[in-house]
Every structure is written in structure tokens, then in C-alpha cells.
């Protein structure tokens, strides 16, 4: 019922990169389809971008953030190992009653998270779920490795799911993984197996390494299979599909997948030229852009498909709903969201102050407040 995206302002073109390393606009364009990418400012991290995208999704749906039940953020570049980026998003949105968790499934993170969000609603447990894909890949890319430095960009995308009875929405999901390929796309250091040390930093082991050729082969073989699998589950034929929105890793992968499925390239939405590979953010950014450009209309059948580190792959088949096009923001709710976001900020500052000051008065007030609430209940 809502969608939003955020990309940083700063644009780095292929020519800019050619000035910094041994590469060329020609090589990058012909091998990947990328022309430029958006790179986060020093002050920006994954949660900042995720919050922007989430607020846009809530505005499109004209929804009240306080009603959110669950926030899931697909990411491989959380702000910190702990707490989760989803908790930072939940707090900044003022989603005070929502559960929050990060989901690491490499570049498939958003599609995995969407499948989980859908299941949370289908189980009857939750009504309103926010699903975000966000990554600041520029923070884990080794600028001395031209085979990865030219590929990745930063950004975030979000969708809002609400329980409904209509035919529109998620029709089927398919997930897969193969940990034997874990070494093909990996950030070796910084985890429990190889904690950060002066040595790991000196050896640049906190950066991503990728066997591009192997990942390329894996994607070209696996993506057509998972698309067919999810369509079979959804009882939708390949001919009925209006759009395939794939992870934007390489234009040649999209063309290879189209060829294998005997589909025209035009059915695959591609915006890799503008953003590069934004990891878990690439599918929701592409979905948002396709909707904003009015390429997607009510009743259309769409497949979202992701693949990446793990190795992982995932697909979601959905029908775009008529209701989502008809929402118009009510002024008072726009104002209410503004107030909730400001309040969330004030609340955080107050709680941190109160906890750190640890005064007797504060603790006593808290005890009194709790006992009053217990009496009221
Ligand atoms: O989102 C996660 C999933 N990731 C992916 O799906 C990535 C999948 N893989 C790919 O997209 C491609 O494998 C790449 C774009 C990463 C690389 O394209 P490729 O056609 O597989 O190139 P390659 O790695 O086989 O390298 C070909 C040549 C090499 O030179 P030699 O050994 O043939 O002399 C590389 O050193 O291109 C060279 N090369 C470059 N040259 C100019 C590698 N990177 C660059 C560069 N500029 N940036």
C-alpha cells in the first residue's frame, strides 16, 4: 500500500572512477550497463537512508507510523553490528509498538524480507508491516579493487504491507540458498570468526571480495529457475507476467535471464545505469521508480527477484492493487506523521538523558508510573 526510495545526492560517474583507478567508462558500460552510481555522504549511514525511504512509503500510503506491527530491514551494511538498523528505523519513525529486526540475505535481502513480511501478515499475527532494503555498499567496497569498486552504489527502498482480502498483493514466494558458495561474495573480517584487529585492517580484510565470474554464472542459471518456481506456485503463466523487477547486478545477467526464459528484454525493469548495484536496495528502488514512472498499473502481475551473497536467491510474485493508486494524503495525517517523527526524536533524547543520569527521582517516578498503570489495568 505504500512505497518509497532514497538515493544519496552525490553522483559518481564512470569517468570520475576512471580518473581514480585503472578502468574506463567503456569497460564499465559494456560489462555491466552502469553509467553512474549515488554515493552516501560521510554523515549518512544505512539507517538514515532507510528512514527516508520508509517515511516516503508511509506518506504514499497515508499511514500512521504508530500502527506499525513489524519493521524488517534487509541489509548487509547495518550501521553497527548491534543494535539492528531496523531498531534505529523503528525508533525514528515513532513505531513504538512494532517489533524490529534486520535480515541478512545479501543482495536478496529485500525480497527475503518481503516474503517474511507477507508471511507475518498471512499468519494473522500482524496487520501493518514495513519492509526495507537498504545498503551503504561504498563503506565495504575496497577502492583499490577495480573489479568491485566500479559496481556498487548506495540507497534504500521501502514498501508498506497491510492485511487485505482483495486479489491484489503477494501471491507466492520462493526462497533458496547454497552456503557452499559463501566464499564467492564475502567480507572476511569483522565477525566472530575473524574479529577486527590492526592486522585485519592492514590487510584490508573488512572489505568485500567477489568472484564475479562465478557469481555471474550462478545468477544466470538460478534466476530463471526461481522465477519459474514462484510463478508455478502462484499459478501464473510466464506469458501473463507484465514486469520482472530483478536485482540490478549486471545488465548482461538480466539479458541472459530474459533469453533463457524466452522473454523480451523489455519485460525486465532496469535502472542499473543510474544507480549501479545497490545490493538489498536495488529491487525496491527499481519497483518504486517503475511505479513513479507509471509503468506499473493496477492488476498487473509482477515478479520481484533477488540473488547474492550466501549464496541466496528469492522471488515474490504479486499482483499490483488498484487501491494503492487511489490513496490521497489527508492533511491532518500528514501533520500527525510530522509530529510523531519530532516526538520520536525528543523521546529518544529524553530517554537517553534519563537513563544516563540515573537519578533517584527518575527511578522513583518510573516506579510510580508503572504502579499507576498496573492499578489502571
Ligand atoms: O550483487 C551481488 C551479485 N553480484 C553479481 O551479480 C556480480 C556478477 N558478476 C559480474 O557482474 C561480472 O563478473 C563483473 C562485472 C564483476 C566482471 O565482468 P567480467 O566480464 O566477468 O570480467 P572479469 O572479471 O572476467 O574480468 C575481465 C577482465 C580482466 O582482465 P584480464 O584478466 O582478462 O586481462 C579484469 O582484470 O577485465 C578486467 N577488469 C577490469 N578492467 C577495467 C576487471 N575489472 C575491471 C575494471 N576496469 N573495472
Q: What is the pLDDT along the chain (377 residues), one digit of tens a residue?
A: 999 999 999 999 999 999 999 999 999 999 999 999 999 999 999 999 999 999 999 999 999 999 999 999 999 999 999 999 999 999 999 999 999 999 999 999 999 999 999 999 999 999 999 999 999 999 999 999 999 999 999 999 999 999 988 888 999 999 999 999 999 999 999 999 999 999 999 999 999 999 999 999 999 999 999 999 999 999 999 999 999 999 999 999 999 999 999 999 999 999 999 999 999 999 999 999 999 999 999 999 999 999 999 999 999 999 998 655 455 567 788 889 999 999 999 999 988 887 876 666 667 777 888 888 888 77
Active site residue 277: yes
The x, y and z cell numbers of residue 374, run together, are: 498496573
Q: Could you tell me which residues come within 8 angstroms of residue 349 by beta carbon, excluding any fewer than 6 positions away?
A: none
Name the pTM for this structure.
Answer: 0.93
| pLDDT score for 323 | 54
| pLDDT score for 351 | 87
User: Kind of pairing, strands 70-74 and 243-246?
Assistant: unpaired
Tell how far the Cα of 146 is from the centroid of ligand 1, in angstroms: 9
What burial letters (b/e) apply to 24-58, b meaning 16+ CB within 10 Å? ebeebeebbbbbbbbbbeeebbbbbbbbbbbbbbb
Burial of 250 (0-12, 13-18, 19+ CB in 10 A): buried
| pLDDT score for 328 | 58
The finding on whether 249 has its CB within 6 A of some atom of ligand 1 is yes
Residue 257 near residue 268, CB atoms below 8 Å: yes
Tell how far the Cα of 152 is from the centroid of ligand 1, in angstroms: 13
The finding on whether 252 has its CB within 6 A of some atom of ligand 1 is no
Torsion angle defined by CA atoms of residues 72, 75, 78 and 83, in that order, rounded to the nearest 10 degrees: 30
* Largest Cα–Cα separation, the chain: 72
The finding on whether 32 has its CB within 6 A of some atom of ligand 1 is yes
Active site residue 247: yes
Q: Write down all domains in the chain, each with its CATH number in brackets.
A: 2-326 (3.40.47.10), 331-376 (no CATH)
The x, y and z cell numbers of residue 323, run together, are: 487501491
The finding on whether 216 has its CB within 6 A of some atom of ligand 1 is yes
Distance CA 202, CA 54 (A): 37
Q: What share of the chain is helix, strand, coil (3-state, %, to 5)?
A: 50, 20, 30
Tell how far the Cα of 61 is from the centroid of ligand 1, in angstroms: 41
The finding on whether 45 has its CB within 6 A of some atom of ligand 1 is no
| pLDDT score for 334 | 86
Residue 172 near residue 314, CB atoms below 8 Å: no
Active site residue 107: yes
Amino acid at each position: 500500500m505504500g512505497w518509497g526510495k532514497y538515493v544519496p545526492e552525490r553522483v559518481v560517474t564512470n569517468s570520475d572512477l576512471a580518473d581514480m583507478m585503472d578502468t574506463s567508462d567503456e569497460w564499465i558500460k559494456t560489462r555491466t550497463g552502469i553509467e553512474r552510481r549515488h554515493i552516501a555522504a560521510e554523515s549518512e549511514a544505512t539507517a538514515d537512508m532507510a528512514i527516508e525511504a520508509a517515511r516516503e512509503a508511509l506518506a504514499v500510503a497515508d499511514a500512521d507510523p504508530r500502527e506499525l506491527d513489524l519493521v524488517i530491514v534487509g541489509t548487509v551494511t547495518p550501521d553497527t553490528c548491534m543494535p539492528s538498523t531496523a531498531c534505529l528505523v523503528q525508533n525514528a519513525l515513532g513505531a513504538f509498538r512494532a517489533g524490529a529486526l534486520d535480515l541478512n540475505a545479501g543482495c536478496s535481502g529485500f525480497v527475503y524480507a518481503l516474503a517474511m513480511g507477507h508471511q507475518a501478515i498471512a499468519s494473522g499475527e500482524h496487520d501493518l508491516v514495513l519492509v526495507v532494503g537498504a545498503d551503504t555498499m561504498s563503506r565495504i567496497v575496497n577502492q583499490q579493487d577495480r573489479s568491485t569498486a566500479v559496481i556498487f552504489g548506495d540507497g534504500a527502498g521501502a514498501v508498506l504491507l497491510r492485511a487485505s482480502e482483495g486479489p491484489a498483493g503477494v501471491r507466492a514466494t520462493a526462497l533458496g540458498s547454497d552456503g557452499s558458495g559463501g566464499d564467492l561474495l564475502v567480507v572476511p573480517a569483522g565477525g566472530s570468526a575473524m574479529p577486527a584487529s590492526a592486522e585485519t585492517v592492514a590487510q584490508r580484510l573488512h572489505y568485500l571480495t567477489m568472484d564475479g565470474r562465478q557469481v555471474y554464472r550462478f545468477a544466470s542459471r538460478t534466476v530463471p529457475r526461481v522465477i519459474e518456481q514462484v510463478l508455478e506456485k502462484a499459478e501464473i503463466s510466464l506469458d501473463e507476467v507484465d514486469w520482472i523487477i530483478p536485482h540490478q547486478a549486471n545488465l548482461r545477467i538480466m539479458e541472459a535471464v530474459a533469453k533463457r526464459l524466452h522473454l523480451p528484454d523489455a519485460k525486465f525493469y532496469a535502472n542499473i545505469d543510474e544507480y549501479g548495484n545497490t545490493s538489498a536496495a536495488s529491487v525496491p528502488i527499481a519497483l518504486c521508480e517503475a511505479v513513479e514512472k507509471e509503468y506499473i498499473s493496477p492488476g498487473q502481475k509482477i515478479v520481484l527477484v533477488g540473488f547474492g551473497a550466501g549464496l541466496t536467491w528469492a522471488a515474490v510474485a504479486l499482483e499490483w492493487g488498484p487501491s494503492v493508486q487511489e490513496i490521497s494524503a489527508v492533511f491532518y495525517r500528514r501533520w500527525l506523521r510530522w509530529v510523531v517523527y519530532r516526538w520520536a526524536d525528543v523521546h529518544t533524547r529524553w530517554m537517553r538523558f534519563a537513563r544516563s543520569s540515573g537519578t533517584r527521582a527518575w527511578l522513583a517516578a518510573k516506579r510510580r508510573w508503572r504502579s499507576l498503570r498496573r492499578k489502571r489495568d
